[in-house]
Amino acid sequence: MAQPNYALNYVIFDLETKNLFEEVGSNNPADLDISVATFYESDTNRYTTVTEEHLKEVWPILERADALVTYNGEHFDIPLLNKYYPGNLTLIKSIDMLVAIRNSLGRRLRLDSVASATIGAKKSADGLSAVRWYREGKIDKIKKYCEQDVKVTKKIFDYALTNGHLKYKDGYRKQEIPLDTSSWTQKEEVSITHSLLF
Distance CA 59, CA 155 (A): 24
Q: Which DSSP string corresponds to 31-93? A: GS-EEEEEEEETTTTEEEEEEGGGGGGGHHHHHH-SEEEESSIIIIIHHHHHHH-SS-GGGSE
In a domain, 3, yes or no: no
In a domain, 18, yes or no: yes
Domain encompassing residue 93: 10-100+125-162
CATH number of the domain encompassing residue 27: 3.30.420.10
In a domain, 2, yes or no: no
In a domain, 181, yes or no: no
In a domain, 26, yes or no: yes
pTM of the model: 0.92
Indicate the number of domains in the chain. Answer: 1
SS3 content of the chain, % helix, strand, coil (to 5): 45, 20, 35
In a domain, 115, yes or no: no
Local confidence pLDDT in tens for the 198 residues of the chain: 567 889 899 999 999 999 999 999 999 999 999 999 999 999 999 999 999 999 999 999 999 999 999 999 999 999 999 999 999 999 999 999 999 999 999 999 999 899 999 999 876 677 788 999 999 999 999 999 999 999 999 999 999 999 999 999 888 889 999 999 999 999 987 655 555 544
In a domain, 194, yes or no: no
In a domain, 59, yes or no: yes
